[in-house]
Chains A and B, each alone.
Chain A
Amino acid sequence: MADRKAELERKKARLEQMRRERKEKELSKTRNVGDDSKTSVKSSGSDASGAEPDDILREFGISPAPEGSPATPKKAAAQSQAVKEVEVPTSVSHTTPRKVRLSVAKVNETSIPPRENVSYSKETQTIIADPVDKDGGRHGKSHVNDDNDLDFIENLEGSSSHAHQFRGHGHSHGHGHTHKMPHVEMVAPATTSEEQNKEHKKPVPELSEEEKKQILMSEGFQKFFDHSSRIVERALAEEVDIFADYSGKDSGGKDDEAMAGERLKVNRDFYDDKWSKHRIITSLDWSAQHPELLLSSYGSNEDATNVPDGVALIWNIKYKKDTPEYVFHCQSPVMSSCFAKFHPNLVLGGTYSGQIVLWDNRVNKRTPVQRTPLSASAHTHPVYCITVVGTQNAHNLISVSNDGKLCSWSLDMLSQPQDSMELQHKQSKSVAATCSSFLSGDANNFIVGSEECLVYSASRHGSKAGINEAYDAHQGPITAIDTHRVPGQIDFSPYFLSSSFDWTVKLWSIKEQKYLCSFEDNSDYVSDVQWSPTNPALFSSVDIMGRLDLWHLNHETEVPTASVVVDTNVALNKLRWHQTGHHIGVGDDMGRIYIYDVAENIANPKADEWSKFVRTLQEMKQQATEREEDSTLLGSAAPIR
């Protein structure tokens, strides 16, 4: 209160001073011509202050006026105006000499980020009607576009040579193709095609060479021939075999008996003189929709020059005929192949050139109907691993090439990958992938084996996309890896096998850095390994000494339960279990495929197989930890036996 009074007093004194000075100014107004603004200020100020000394007092009672309220700034303004009026003459003189310290202010920034546009588009590619290739464009109708006429004719001969019954009936004609036409017509056993052949009977004598050729080349004829020759061959083969069946099987004809009884027995072999001779089998796959169909892909035939480099054949184990159901070929050796899991008619192949080719068995063409481009957006290195992952409605083709590039494709659209990524492990070192396997039921996580003796686990999407972990224990390039996929009450999907040039097969869990168990019974490169699809503790391996091993881990982990040598002169390259777990298809490097039957007592899992396997794995883990301790004691980095 006292302070207030003092301030009031001060205010009053000032007001009087102001009045005095105002009067002085009014006098000097007439003298001061220049400053109109000042006078206006003065006059307005004088008006304002004339009216307001009381106001000022009043407002001072209200004194500390909060900023922002509309009423008080006005009064404060008036107040300041009044004061200003006093100060104006003085402030004018103040402003000019007042020190002005200029400096750069902080930069004021405003930013509005752009909106991210997420769009989705899907394209489909149509089949090119008429591929022009090195032979020059063939006129559209012919389906053997990339073959020479000669090939086709040889094929005719080839297929009919197997149907030796024809010859047996006494038609000893030469091999000129002109004789083929009447040959087919007159054959009695071919009842299914006889009706159709009668049509051909009439024009035959009238046609010239040219016209005959034309008919041969025509689409209709070739379709018919392809289809009916297949049926005829089966029918013929079947007839012969009905008698041979019982005697053939039981008499142990082949001399590849297993050491202990008949655990592994050769059922049959597949070999085609024309198409699989001297070609190494690079991959095998059984069809999911038709379990009797086996797809095999072949590398190039170095001996022959005029033949296509890459071949894929589909064999049938249901019938006794020993010619392939379908023959496909392409320009580059096929390194890996698989049936398109959800499309019963499509066959995919990954080639040495990095191109992925698609064959269709509905079309009467032996060459691929679609191919991926040979560009940097796709693969430029050999494609060693292709798999179809996903479900019926949402699936992709995943391909990994030797330079570590992983591409994912849609089967409708092979002209560009949907997605691609580089598999790199630390310090941008690309993974030289030789084999890959997806985890059971998982379209995202997979494992890759490489030439650098390392196995990697990786993911396609997600926060950990790319290579996650490396498993280092092999001393040679990895030839094959396989993840466990037997369904059952206990899930063994983290366990996988790897085989390598270092003569061993190792069992791992993806959760552990160190392998669980190493199988070292082989004395040469182990070329392939695969879990049985039905028995959780069973797997099989092949090596290049011609040996096929069956390991049943619940019985024995040191040596294989059954072992068979196919042929000491032959190196086995690939093996594939049949879905039933009763057959194994084995391919060698000379173009021959052997189908082995696995004895039921081994192939079929018993009820307690799963729990026994859990115990086996626990024992292996114990041994693994002991081994680790030993190795750390010895001071060595990796256990070597």
Chain B
Amino acid sequence: MAARRLGGSSWQQVVSLSRRCCLPGGRRERYRCSSSSTALGKTVDNSEVTQEEIVLPRRKTWGKLAVLQTLASTVNKDPTAAHYMFQDDPFLMPRNAANSRLFSLSKESGRNAAKYIIKQFPQYFDKTFAEPNIPCLMPETFTPQIEGVSEEALKERIHLRRVKDSVDLFDQLVQAGTTVSLETTNSLLDLLCFYGDGESTPEKEKEEEDLEEPGVNASEQKAPKRQFQRGSQSSGSRWRENNNAERIFKIMPERNAHSYCTMIRGMVKHGASAKAYDMYIDLLNERHKADVHTFNALITAVPYLKERFLERWELAKVFLNHMAQQEVQPNLLTFNALLKTLRRCGGVGRSMSLLAIKEMEALDIEPSLATYDHLLFIFYRGADLCPSGIISEVLDDVEKRSFTPQDPDDANFFGTAMQVCCDLKDIKLAYQLNKAMEKGDNWKFLDMDRLNAYWSKFFSLLCMMEQIDVVLKWYKEMSPSHFYPTPKNILDLLQALDAANHLEAIPSVWEDMKQLGFNRRQDLLQELLSLMSREQHPEEIQLAFAKCAEDIKAVYEQSVREQALLEWTGSALGHVALLFSRAGRTQDAWNMMERFQQINRIPTDQVMEEFLNCAKQTNCPDEAIKLVKLAAALGLPSSQRLKSRTEKEFELSEKQKKTLESIKSDSDSSDSDSDSDSDRE
């Protein structure tokens, strides 16, 4: 039946088609492979080959391990595929970093749209027919159940994170005269200090879902601590004067240590560091003890309290001494906060940070990636650098362990470390860092943006330091699966190709540039053209270069509607004309030459000479004469020389000789101006 459909007569076609049709659910599978040619295309090729005679192929013998080897080759990462979250289709695959970001964000916003619909109409989604029930797929209830003015209702609203409702209810309770217990007031203060008196938005509620636990106090205790660290970078709200938290704090009949601690942490999070310090003094006056989280917050606030480096370190030491006096055990976050403060302490920081690390070891606290990140920053990214070998020690430590996230600053470690490797121009350290990243769970610290930046820096380092074949091998493997090259990466790659005298790879780099969307960048185009036109190359490379030049010419001439028209520069025009001339495309080269007048630039002598050579090879004396006319019209000093060359090297007819003569008088009359601006602007 298939053979009838195609009208093919060869039995080989029938065999190959029926083999395809026998796949289960067959029809769909044939459409599925977008990368290989369609079934129709393949059979057409076959028919062309086997039209005359039937060639029986030789029987293939496979080695014993062939199947295992083939299976093993499918297990590794596919270097041509995009990230798993994208659909495997050429239209839907992102080609550059901007697209990949756009697609992943639009997918996420689609998810948010679905969640919004489910929140609006929970009645359609709440039938529990799954066995066992899956709570994460059920709609969440956000409306408070208990009505009326009572402490229970207040506790529930706090639990649901409704800031404004809780405050209103609290005020109502106080006015009605009922005393609210200390615990509940403290949890209300926790809520207010966490949100800084702004309303909790639905996005924030999503983040806390996994942290919610049955006990109200227990959850408040744990939740603000972890979110405080995250929130301190992202909180946009500032601590207003006499906001709800302060007001409630003042009217509280009795306060315990927890109240003070919450207020301090809230003030530090939202930027009121001086107030936090005053509150801490109050706490000491009341002879309360602060907890470890409060001390962490205070240490983080030190750079905002003092200006000079030494003063900052002294204040931090004061806090640490108080910690020791109040017998509060420091934890990992204490030391990370200390190192973060030392980042802003310049030279003092360098000496003191090592002491901090020794303390950590003495207390048996394992450092996290954030610790190492702060260390690297202190030693390598400060203003005045002195060489130190700390990075190798850090890398030796990091590559032994697989880390778990313990501090939000952990995510910055790999980026900082790669930056340091690039600054030190040490490729071996970079390889070691890569190995550390691949160990265990460490790769999870790099999200899409950080991953791109990391690999981008690594690739720049490779281009600088390694041989060209290693560079090309990495390039083939890494893009587009690991990262999308930035314009700087492409420039580095071109320079590496230049250094290794491997310029014939340039047309393929141009193809990649088009795919990445960099084909309208002036700097890249200039670099590409100058590299291609610098020297003479063998024949087929020259033809490939000319094709590239034609593409680039199309880029310059096309005006896409959103983007402005790219302006021709003199050098670009000259290079394109040169490339056309070397490939023997006289007509195209002449088109280029004509444009010089339009943009008010003058071609270099080299360009003119090459054009004349090309005209001689392709035997077009007319073009040569047109060139001489152009040179005379522009008033170039070389026009005489070109004229004499034309007379000598070309076989001219009588008419042509006469036209050539007539040009002579034009050039004599006009004074060749020596200050004609060359095309190198």
Specify whether A and B are partners.
Answer: no
